[in-house]
Structure 1
Amino acid sequence: MKSPILPKVVLCACLCIYLSFLNLNAQETNAPKFGKGLFNLVGKDSTFTMKVGLRFQTLATSQWDADNGLSNQSTSMLIRRSRLKFDGFAFSPKLKYKVELGLSNRDQSGGSYYTHDSPRYILDAVLKWNFSGNFVLWFGQTKLPGNRERVISSANLQQVNRSLLNSRFTIDRDMGIQLRHKFNLSENFVVKEIFSIAQGEGRNVTRGNVGGHQYTTRVELFPFGEFTSKGDYKGSDLKFEQKPKLSLGFAYDFNNDAVKNRSNQGSYMYINGTSEGSSAEFYQTNISTVFIDAMYKHKGFSFMAEYANRDAKHPFAKNSDGSLTGDEVQVGNGLNLQTGYLLSKTVELSGRYTNISYDKNITGKGAENQYTLGLSKYIAGHSLKVQTDVSYTDIGFNTNQLLYRLQVDIHF
């Protein structure tokens, strides 16, 4: 049963941990500059560190149907995200960790029988072991190495939120193991590789692993060297790269015997008249997803492009007797093109075009096109910013929508 007081309990627990560390005479407890965490802890014997951070986003939206003028207006305000973050190293600087907890309703949504009917508080809980040279082994729950836009933190986005491509094709978070490595082809040319084996069910699943496992590999090429301050995974060129920087990414994901209609995301595909519960039966099929993306930055100008394709061996879900269930894998393509230019060090104008083209013969859905114009005011970089954008969407070329958003983001 969901507990309305649990977020308060979590916050109190964090405060108690902090006070306990103080009582244990931690060697160093200092408040860093704004945007670099609430406080940092360093153990007396320097065998651990912990940085604690907090952020939240307040979002207001207005939406209209644009078919017959601007009609059927709907408005809303909500805390879109609210997060607590902990990171540092344990025992050795070669063993790092990250924990991120989601406290808003949107962060916790998705509770079901398979997540033990509980809110999904844990976003990330992962260990990162640099066991040799440039090899790092990750173990735990975190984002899979899929599309670039998903891996960019929601705190560092160029516009109010991610594109339709991400919402339709992302492989998001899962529990598993990732092996990461990088090397230099030349003095400036850097190559990074990632290989992941995950459970294939999405985050916070507690009741078994249905179907097979999920395998993801990603390669990134940096022909002009690495970006300043990991800028290849941050929106906007706030560092004003003095030399052109480019990152090209290629990822392939294979989910063996997947039971959800969007690989490890979306809805479970039930068969034989069963539904959620211990007696549920699932349709299983192999789902493959391909991502190709790029990030370019130079002197305040940025450009990001992403392409996604999802395919399935047998996309139509069938019962044991061969009859169709009415569910199907969301097979198709997505394209996202996004650019921005900093008019000054703190003001940026951005634009985005997104196209979603499902296979209409399988999904019965028409194409979606979305055009977004955004304006951002960076008061303290991504740590404190005000962002607004307006989007026009046509769905199947017969339904048109207009969306306006305003968001304030603060990041301690």
Structure 2
Amino acid sequence: MKRILVIIVGLTSLLSAAQEVQFSTKDNDLKLATLPYYNYGRGLGLTSPDSIFQLNIRFRMQNRMSFIQLEDQEEILDGQIRRLRLRFDGYVGNPKFLYAIQLSFAPGDVGVIEDGENVNIIRDAVVFYRPNKYWSIAFGQTKLPGNRQRVNSSGALQLTDRTINNARFNIDRDFGVQTYYLHEKKDAFSYNLKTAISTGNGRNVTKNPDNGYALTGKVEVFPMGSFTKDGTTFEGDIAREKTPKLMLSGVLHKNIRARFTQGQLGDDLFDKRDMQSVLLDAMVKYDGWSFMTTYMNRTADDAITFNPEDATDFKYVYIGEGMDYQLSYLFLNNIEVIGRFSTQNVHETIKSFTPDTKQYSLGVTKYFWEHAFKIQSEFSFDQLSYANGSTRDNWYLRFQVEIGI
């Protein structure tokens, strides 16, 4: 524990923290460039008469209807409020001292309510100190600096949800300390450096504290300068870049003595395991065209854990790798066509328990007010390949409306 405290203090003193903030009392808008959600407009803002306090209130909801066909099963018609979020951000006393809160209320966000546990509505609760426009430090619970699609808000996606690899291999929200150094320039080579030290246990885990921890480091490079309107934080070329823009990024994440099958997510393991994730991203945007690709990988030694009271009962770390490719074009009438292809290959150790997967997706989105108000339709086809040589084909058709401020 002493070593962890030394690491935290050392990083804090050496790096200070990372997050560029642009503040304007004229339009009463506080933009936190690295917060895990997409902003369009200002939301509803309140500033005290003496300007020592600011509160911005925002909401968004996703209403979804899906028709699902799983091979050898009856078709499913599913209608749900997929996401319902309420968020607050601002500063107290001085724009250098910032806060961000995000709450979730939809059943899919809250998750299963366990006996004796609190309702899991807190997604983000984090305090920032920003000494200048380059450095900042965050303390609390929020998203780790992971792969691009995971860090971006679910409200800033082109299709109705993230990829199958994000569902299995991403790193998620966690409680800890994050430090960022942001050095973006509009038309010149730029880069960002991001680090985090966290519990490794994920969101709102309070039972059975332990000695595990997670270390995360990320580098983002912009060879042709930064994107218009922080264009890496949303999918699709809504800003219609006038010159080509490219982002390359890499993440290394170590979760020491992890308790869950997917690090910060998943079921409880019977025994703790050390895990390592490598996440690589590339994004290109130009004149309505957008292309994204991602490589995701998780490894762990001795991935299978057994119930000490029943040798036939086991849980395993989800290890393997995957690739995502996503291409889109936004027409002048703000209708966008999106195609996506994903491959997911599990490690040989767990191949007997779970299949390899390929997913093909085609979507059409109509933007009324950028990502803040849009209608999305998507068709996805999954091919599952099992270790015994059998295959299974599943597909779904989905319609979704997103609206927020």
Shift of 1:110: 3.8
Aligned residues: 368
Q: CA contact under 8 A between 1:28 and 1:41: conserved in structure 2?
A: no
In 2, Cα distance between equivalents of 1:286 and 1:324: 23
Q: Which amino acid aligns with 1:349?
A: V
Match of 2:46 in 1: 41
Q: CA contact under 8 A between 1:262 and 1:330: conserved in structure 2?
A: yes
Match of 2:87 in 1: 85
Match of 1:73 in 2: 75
In 2, Cα distance between equivalents of 1:386 and 1:377: 5
SS of 1:146's equivalent in the other structure is: coil
1:160-185 superposed Cα distances (whole Å, 9 cap, x missing partner): 11110111111111111100002369
1:246-284 superposed Cα distances (whole Å, 9 cap, x missing partner): 1111001100011111112111012xxxxxxxxxxxx01
Q: Which amino acid aligns with 1:362?
A: I
In 2, Cα distance between equivalents of 1:147 and 1:268: 24
Q: CA contact under 8 A between 1:152 and 1:233: conserved in structure 2?
A: yes
In 2, Cα distance between equivalents of 1:133 and 1:233: 18
Shift of 1:366: 2.5
Q: CA contact under 8 A between 1:55 and 1:82: conserved in structure 2?
A: yes
Note if 1:410 corresponds to 2:392: no
Q: Which amino acid aligns with 2:53?
A: F
Shift of 1:352: 0.4
1:39-85 superposed Cα distances (whole Å, 9 cap, x missing partner): 21011110121110111010000011357xxx621111000000111
Note if 1:386 corresponds to 2:391: no
Q: Which amino acid aligns with 1:72?
A: E
Q: Which amino acid aligns with 2:318?
A: Q
Shift of 1:207: 2.1
Match of 1:57 in 2: 62
Question: Structure 1 188/38 Cα, relative in aligned 2: closer, same or farther at 3 Å?
Answer: closer
Note if 1:399 corresponds to 2:392: yes
SS of 2:229's equivalent in the other structure is: helix
RMSD: 2.5
1:335-383 superposed Cα distances (whole Å, 9 cap, x missing partner): 1111110122410000000111101333422210000000000011111
Q: Which amino acid aligns with 2:256?
A: N
In 2, Cα distance between equivalents of 1:295 and 1:100: 27
SS of 1:267's equivalent in the other structure is: strand
Shift of 1:326: 1.9
Q: CA contact under 8 A between 1:330 and 1:363: conserved in structure 2?
A: no
Match of 2:358 in 1: 369
Q: Which amino acid aligns with 2:374?
A: K
Match of 1:288 in 2: 276
Note if 1:264 corresponds to 2:269: no
In 1, Cα distance between equivalents of 2:336 and 2:224: 25
Q: Which moved more, 1:36-45 or 1:93-102?
A: 36-45
In 1, Cα distance between equivalents of 2:132 and 2:28: 32
Q: Which amino acid aligns with 2:51?
A: S
Alignment of 1:14-29 (within 5 A): none
In 1, Cα distance between equivalents of 2:404 and 2:108: 18
In 1, Cα distance between equivalents of 2:229 and 2:383: 37
Q: Which moved more, 1:253-262 or 1:353-362?
A: 353-362
Question: Structure 1 112/249 Cα, relative in aligned 2: closer, same or farther at 3 Å?
Answer: farther
In 2, Cα distance between equivalents of 1:112 and 1:254: 28
Q: CA contact under 8 A between 2:184 and 2:225: conserved in structure 1?
A: no
Question: Structure 1 29/182 Cα, relative in aligned 2: closer, same or farther at 3 Å?
Answer: closer
In 2, Cα distance between equivalents of 1:198 and 1:112: 24
Shift of 1:105: 1.1
Shift of 1:316: 1.8
Shift of 1:38: 4.5
**TM-score, length of structure 2 as denominator length:** 0.85
Match of 1:103 among 102, 105, 116: 105
Match of 2:288 in 1: 300
Match of 2:339 in 1: 351
In 1, Cα distance between equivalents of 2:325 and 2:161: 14
Q: Which amino acid aligns with 1:401?
A: N
Q: CA contact under 8 A between 1:201 and 1:209: conserved in structure 2?
A: no
Match of 1:339 in 2: 327
Q: Which amino acid aligns with 1:54?
A: F
In 1, Cα distance between equivalents of 2:207 and 2:384: 37
Q: CA contact under 8 A between 1:305 and 1:338: conserved in structure 2?
A: yes
Match of 2:139 in 1: 139
In 1, Cα distance between equivalents of 2:158 and 2:400: 12
Unpaired segments ≥5 residues, structure 2: 1-24, 31-38
Structure 1 or 2, whichever has the larger Rg, is: 1
Q: CA contact under 8 A between 2:376 and 2:401: conserved in structure 1?
A: yes
Alignment of 1:124-203 (within 5 A): 124-132=124-132, 134-183=134-183, 188-203=188-203
SS of 1:379's equivalent in the other structure is: strand
Question: Structure 1 47/260 Cα, relative in aligned 2: closer, same or farther at 3 Å?
Answer: same
In 2, Cα distance between equivalents of 1:257 and 1:220: 28
Q: Which moved more, 1:242-251 or 1:325-334?
A: 325-334
Q: CA contact under 8 A between 2:186 and 2:226: conserved in structure 1?
A: no
Shift of 1:208: 4.2
Q: Which amino acid aligns with 1:411?
A: G
Question: Structure 1 288/75 Cα, relative in aligned 2: closer, same or farther at 3 Å?
Answer: same
Shift of 1:211: 4.2
In 1, Cα distance between equivalents of 2:303 and 2:379: 35
Match of 2:33 in 1: none
